[in-house]
């Protein structure tokens, strides 16, 4: 099969803005939810151009590889005028039903338990911003409350960031407060390291200046 949808430009325009065309889907379980979200956004902007009963067919046209192999028999039955299978019609013409079918076939098995394990094992190895992004992605798949998420978020931070969080004195009432403050501290420490590289190691700058406590 072709690697791009037939006669489909990379972007389409609406009266409000331009929206990118969704990616092709090859059956990767870890990319399914992102792909569905791309289409949800696409349909939101193009609601006047795409009939709700055609959404399943349009999504099917973006399937390749394993995904295309799976959808092909369903498409053949749907396109057969002599076949009046109500379940097949509902699958393609009712968008929530189509997405449910996709998740049954290509969704991550035991996604919540996998997210639970991932969030407990996650450690900051790059910037706090990168760590926070990955953490929040896992957090959305769990049913943990905000307090538990804050505990796990702190646990995965580098020791220096955790130390400065304890000293910062900033009120932290929820996970988003914690994320903002940890990113601010990480950025300040990064700037401090850059500035120190410009000076003789014997005359180091005071990190408290960059952390706002000098």
pLDDT at residue 138, rounded to an integer:
93
Joined tokens for residue 196? 């120190």
How far apart, in whole angstroms, are the C-alpha atoms of residue 211 and residue 167? 10
pLDDT attached to residue 112 = 85
pLDDT score recorded for residue 6: 44
Instruction: Specify whether the CB–CB gap between 169 and 112 falls below 8 A.
Output: no
CB atoms within 10 A of CB 24: 18
- pLDDT 10s per residue in the chain (214 long)? 445 454 444 444 444 677 899 999 999 998 999 999 999 999 999 888 899 999 999 999 999 999 999 999 999 999 998 878 899 999 999 999 999 999 999 988 788 888 999 999 999 999 999 999 999 999 998 999 999 999 999 999 999 999 999 999 899 999 999 999 999 999 999 988 888 776 555 444 455 555 655 4
Residue 85: predicted pLDDT: 85
* pLDDT at residue 198, as a whole number: 67
pLDDT value of position 58: 96
Interatomic CA distance for residues 55 and 63, integer angstroms: 13
Alpha-carbon gap, residue 47 to 52, rounded angstroms? 8
Q: Which of 63, 15, 21 is nearest to 39 (CA)?
A: 21
């Amino acid at each position: 099969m072709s690697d791009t949808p037939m006669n489909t430009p990379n972007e389409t325009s609406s009266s409000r803005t331009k929206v990118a065309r969704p990616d092709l889907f090859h059956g990767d379980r870890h990319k399914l939810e992102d792909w569905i979200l791309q289409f949800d956004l696409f349909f939101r902007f193009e609601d006047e151009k795409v009939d709700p009963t055609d959404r399943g067919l349009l999504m099917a046209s973006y399937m390749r590889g394993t995904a295309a192999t799976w959808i092909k028999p369903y498409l053949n039955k749907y396109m057969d005028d002599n076949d009046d299978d109500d379940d097949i019609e509902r699958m393609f013409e009712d968008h929530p039903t189509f997405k449910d079918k996709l998740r049954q076939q290509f969704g991550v098995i035991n996604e919540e338990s996998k997210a639970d394990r991932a969030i407990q094992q996650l450690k900051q190895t790059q910037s706090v911003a990168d760590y926070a992004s990955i953490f929040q992605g896992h957090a959305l798949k769990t049913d943990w409350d905000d307090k538990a998420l804050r505990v796990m978020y702190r646990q995965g931070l580098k020791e220096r960031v955790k130390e400065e969080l304890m000293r910062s004195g900033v009120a932290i009432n929820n996970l988003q407060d914690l994320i903002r403050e940890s990113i601010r501290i990480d950025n300040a420490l990064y700037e401090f390291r850059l500035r120190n590289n410009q000076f003789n190691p014997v005359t180091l700058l005071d990190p408290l200046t960059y952390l706002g406590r000098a």
